[in-house]
Amino acid sequence: MKIEKIEIRYLESKLDKSFAWSQRWTDIRNLIVIKVFTDDGIIGWGETFGSQENVKAISTILKLSIGEDPRKFGMIWNKLYRATFQGHVYAKSAVYAISALDTALLDIVGQYENKSASDILGGKIRETIPVYATGLYYVDDYAFKPLIEEAEMHASNGYKGMKMKIGALTLKEDAHRVKEVKRAIGDDVRLMFDANEAYDPITAVKFADMVSDTDLEWFEEPCASRDNIANRYVKDNSMIPISGGESLSTRWDFASRLSDSIFDIIQPDICAVGGPSEMVKIGIMAQSLGVKFFPHFWGSGISFSAALHSISVQPLSQIGMQDIPYENESVLECDKTPHPIRENLTNDIFTHNDSRVEVPTSPGLGIQVDETVLSKFTIGSVTVVDKPSDGQRVF
């Protein structure tokens, strides 16, 4: 079996109403989807981040995989990584390509072997994965009432945890919002908050102190994710656990941050970290160093399925008689913000029961992609890669 052709599409959807986090307002959702064809007729799906401008660089990198056997996905991963290493794989287009391809190859190999992606990764340890709802962004010119209404909705829908945004308002205003959301959802629902890298370390610690009398699960991305000194300062001076890592890539980006105990919790995203096979490695590294592993999610059903499979093979962070979400069992983010692509591109794999989602059991990723929806949200032409790389690096 050989990789014969890859199609790359940039997808974008306009939102009816904009929302914001600490950095900006947005009224669009977007992602990049790849469709990998084999000479056996098996098709695999992958997904990553990026804009229309990333597509050309991604296509150049994916040429390196044409003609390779998908069953050798580990070898292919290393081939692409090695070829782009000196070209700054961390500068995103390279690792975006690697992440999407790794996902698609697991989809293909699973279908070929008539096994789920989790079986290809070594066999799932659990059948369901605990999830929490992400939403509670700034909306309607920072209105307070919609924030509380949304929090109450997620709680009434059975989510055992949820995450909200901070960092766009004054510390006093955001602290009030955090406390009021927690008051609205009660003691039985966990609350996390995310600054999206908004603060310097002194300000982050001050904010943590302002809300420390509230039962909160973690403080996400208080400072720039790659600023180890700032994040370590916050970790050492906050009563609330610190998390981060959604923008970090591959085990080498995480290694020093794990060994130096920069974060209490790491949150790799499958679309940027190097795909499911790399996600599994980083989870094992975190477990061995006593750091919690709660992956980030911000995409469609393609990447959500890949994340479910990756976490399903993840051991408990600390062995005990019971699997307890947040305490010794990894939890996965479940994005609940408006996203027409996510809501329509695949079959619904987001449905939860008591804040847990089933790991797909069908071969491969276990998803079905609606290609009518795929075409509807595709911006620009489809980029086709069907010839091997000539070895010239353009990135």
> What is the domain partition of the chain in residue ranges?
3-114+370-385, 119-358
The per-residue pLDDT for 89 is: 64
Q: Is the pLDDT of residue 120 over 70?
A: yes
- What average pLDDT does range 210-216 have in this prediction? 98
CB 47 within 8 A of CB 100: yes
Burial class, 153, CB count within 10 angstroms (exposed 0-12 / middle 13-18 / buried 19+): middle
Q: Is the pLDDT of residue 395 over 70?
A: no
CB 335 within 8 A of CB 357: no
Residue 327 binned pLDDT confidence (cut-offs 50, 70, 90): very high
Of 78-92, 96-110, 161-175, which gets the smallest average pLDDT?
Answer: 78-92
- What average pLDDT does range 290-309 have in this prediction? 98
DSSP SS3 for 218: coil
The per-residue pLDDT for 393 is: 57
Query: With respect to CATH, is domain 119-358 assigned 1.10.10.10?
Result: no
Tell me the CATH number for domain 3-114+370-385. 3.30.390.10
Q: Is the pLDDT of residue 87 over 90?
A: no
What pTM did the predictor assign? 0.96
The per-residue pLDDT for 112 is: 98
Summarised one tens digit per residue, pLDDT across range 176-209 is 999 999 999 999 999 999 999 999 999 999 999 9
The per-residue pLDDT for 86 is: 77
Dihedrals φ, ψ of 116, to 5°?
A: -75, 160
